[in-house]
Amino acid sequence: METPCIVINEATVRRNIQRMVAGLRAHGIAHRPHFKTHKSVRLAKMQLEMGAAGITCASLGEGETLADGGVTDIFLAYPIIGARKLARLVELSRRTALCTVVNSIEGAEGLNAAFAAAGTRIKVLIELDGGMGRSGITLDNINAFAQAITALPGLELIGVMTYRGNIYQNRGESEYVAETRKEAADLLKAQRQLQEIGIQVDVISSGSSFSSKFPQHLQGLTEARAGTYIYNDVSQLSTGMIQVEDCALTVLATVVTCPDKNHAVIDAGSKTLSSDLAKHGPGYGYILEHPNATIEKLSEEHGYLRLPDGTQLNVGDTLHIIPNHVCAVVNLADTYWAFDGQAHTEHPVDARGKSR
């Protein structure tokens, strides 16, 4: 394998999926994993075979890639805006069991116009504000918003979803649990409020790989959309809730120069590792072979390592690096190598770069 490249351990991937599905199932919650992390149809199908109830994706292009690959139970968790994209969405809905999200009146009206004109309907979930100021309807406004949605003939309101990404800003298990409980409580409150005004929603969909680690606190929700958990990364690791052996993806890199005894330069820079920082902790990745070395800086094709005294690296050495943020790293690579314990096989990152 020439470097820099992505290598995944299939056994770890399978163990991560198995644990996630089983953990959620024990609390009556379906797993609808997010495609944005791996962007691989092969892995989406593995998730489905291992018990996932459908796939979540972040863009039309990801949804089309899934459909082209034969995956047809899709939740597109992004508001689709604009005539050309809406036409693609209508097309996609004709060949899949598709559901999407609404979080603004303008967006909902656009969807409605496109689907009503096509003589069909689209299932939608209302996005509930996840406390990130990013998007979503607040509990104060959700009743009026839901009433407006149900008045639109092209939309079929079936649920409520949220993404509470701020959980990653917290520290320590008690804070994580508190945030997870808040996520579940808000979603269930939204469901109750809507029920009180005569609107029944059956899908209650929660967010992150992180809250999914506490399924006992998600009781009452119907599905969880964890994505990153399939590979894990330094951001997950830095919370202390997973271990190095739970990380299924590494970047393989080669030492290209050793400027002095405390420094080495590798061929993985920001065009491979991305410039994403970990939520907690310094540097641009965790080096399996040298956990005490730091990737202290990146340029596009160079990673700058600071080595502790006594760590010797040589030009040509290869290193396995757990990246800070796997989703960003996968989206930079055309392919990944899967190691099944015996051999490495190269697979395409099918939806790489499909951000629209």
Of residues 187 through 206, those in contact with a second copy by CB under 8 A are: none
3 touching a second copy, by CB under 8 A: yes
Sign of the four-CA dihedral 304, 306, 307, 312: positive
Q: For residues 78 and 286, which CB has a smaller minimum distance to a second copy in the complex?
A: 78
Strand 286-287 to 97-102 pairing: unpaired
**Closer residue to a second copy (CB): 223 or 267:** 267
Residues 102-131 that bind a second copy (CB under 8 A): 103-104, 106-107, 110, 129
Site string for a second copy, 20-49 (x = CB under 8 A): ----------------x-------------
330: left (phi over 0), alpha (psi -120 to 50) or beta: alpha
The correct pick among 64, 332, 336, 350 for binding a second copy (CB under 8 A) is 332
Alpha carbons 128 and 188: distance in angstroms, whole number: 11
Comparison of 21 and 92: residue with beta carbon closer to a second copy: 92
User: For residues 81 and 185, which CB has a smaller minimum distance to a second copy in the complex?
Assistant: 81
SS3 content of the chain, % helix, strand, coil (to 5): 35, 25, 40
**Helix pair angle (60-68, 41-49), 10° resolution:** 70
- Smallest gap from residue 196 Cβ to a second copy (A): 25
> What is the C-alpha to C-alpha distance for residues 25 and 38, in angstroms, rounded to an integer?
22
Query: Total binding residues for a second copy by CB under 8 A?
Result: 60
Structure tokens at 330: 């996968």
Structure tokens at 236: 């997950």
CB of 129 to a second copy, least distance (A): 8
* Interaction of residue 211 with a second copy, rule CB under 8 A: no
Q: Report the SS3 class of residue 216.
A: helix
Question: Min. distance of Cβ 271 from a second copy in angstroms?
Answer: 5
Which lies closer to a second copy via its Cβ, residue 78 or residue 115?
Answer: 78
Q: How far is the CB of 11 from a second copy (least distance, A)?
A: 26
Q: Give min distance, CB of 55 to a second copy, in A.
A: 16
Q: Considering only residues 73-92, where is the footprint of a second copy by CB under 8 A? A: 78-79, 81-82, 84-85
Residue 40 beta carbon to a second copy: minimum distance, rounded to whole angstroms = 16
In the chain, the N- to C-terminal Cα span, in Å, equals 31
Q: Is the peptide bond before 4 cis (omega within 30 degrees of 0)?
A: yes
Interaction with a second copy in 247-276: which residues (CB under 8 A)? 254-259, 263, 265, 267-272, 274-276
What x-and-dash track marks residues 138-177 binding a second copy by CB under 8 A? ---------------------------x------------
Backbone region of residue 281 per phi and psi (left: phi > 0; alpha: psi in -120 to 50; beta: other values): left
For residue 33, give both structure tokens.
Answer: 């994993």
What lies within 8 Å, CB to CB, of 278 at 6+ separation is 233, 234, 235, 237, 238, 324, 325
Gyration radius of the chain over CA positions: 21
| Closest C-alpha to 71, from 351, 353, 354, 352 | 351
Neighbours of 176 (CB within 10 A): 21
What sign does the CA torsion over 231, 235, 238, 240 have?
Answer: negative
Q: Which of 301, 311, 344, 347 is in the footprint of a second copy by CB under 8 A?
A: 301
As measured in angstroms, the least distance from the Cβ of 293 to a second copy is 15
Residue from 42, 94, 95, 134 binding a second copy (CB under 8 A): 134
Binding site for a second copy (CB under 8 A): 2-5, 36, 58-59, 78-79, 81-82, 84-85, 103-104, 106-107, 110, 129, 133-136, 165, 254-259, 263, 265, 267-272, 274-277, 299-302, 304, 314-316, 327-328, 331-334, 352-353, 355-356
